[in-house]
Amino acid sequence: MKGIDKLAKVVTKVLEVTHWVAEALMLAAAISIVAAPQWLGYFVGLDTMGQEVELSAYGFEIMAPVVNGMVDTKTFVLFAIGAVIIFSLVAMIFRNLYLIIKKSEGTTPFQKDNVRMMREIGIFSIGIPVIGLIMNIIARLVLGPEAAEMSNSMEGFVMGIIVLCLTQFFAHGVELEKDVDGLL
């Protein structure tokens, strides 16, 4: 079991760091398209040969128009804002998973901090599709309904609800553990 815990800690930490890096790169790409739009294709590897390019981050998608080999600046910046927030939320999910695994080593997982972190994971998971939906609405208002084709996945919402329900079982486990410790 210790080998699995060690592997889980490494994987969650790598995924956390990867998402923080993705957030920084997306922020740099947003600055790049404003400062020097001709460099964006090289920076993020977008294929700007077609009429539009698909931008996607965890179910939040925007089809950005390509004009003269350049991605539409407003569309990309709006996508980047949503992607930065989403990457931050995913990084926080992996951070909390890492801390839960680390805190539970050699002891019980039924601890108040673990319950809090699981609750945060549920809230962050729900936040991902909500941010995508809000950014879709903002993009429609700013760009117009025909300017960009958009979609949003609500799978994170379902996962968040499930995690929040599991949190209640862990909270009950904390109470049971307190009762057992009180009897000894």
Residues 16-53: b if buried by 16+ CB within 10 A, e if exposed:
beebbebbebbeebbebbeeeeeebbeebebebeeebb
pTM of the full structure: 0.86
Q: How far is CA 140 from the centre of its chain?
A: 22
Give me the amino acid identity at 158. Answer: V
Residue range 64-111, pLDDT digits in tens: 787 777 778 888 899 999 999 999 999 999 999 999 998 888 777 778
> How far apart are the C-alpha atoms of 58 and 71, rounded to whole Å?
20
Q: Output the six-digit token pair for 138.
A: 């903002």
Residue range 135-148, pLDDT digits in tens: 988 988 888 876 65
Give me the amino acid identity at 61. Answer: E
pLDDT (0 to 100) of residue 120: 95
How does residue 34 score in pLDDT terms, banded at 50, 70 and 90? confident
Q: Are 119 and 40 in contact (CB under 8 A)?
A: no
Q: Are 48 and 70 in contact (CB under 8 A)?
A: yes
pLDDT (0 to 100) of residue 145: 76
Residue range 151-184, pLDDT digits in tens: 777 888 899 999 989 988 888 888 887 777 666 5
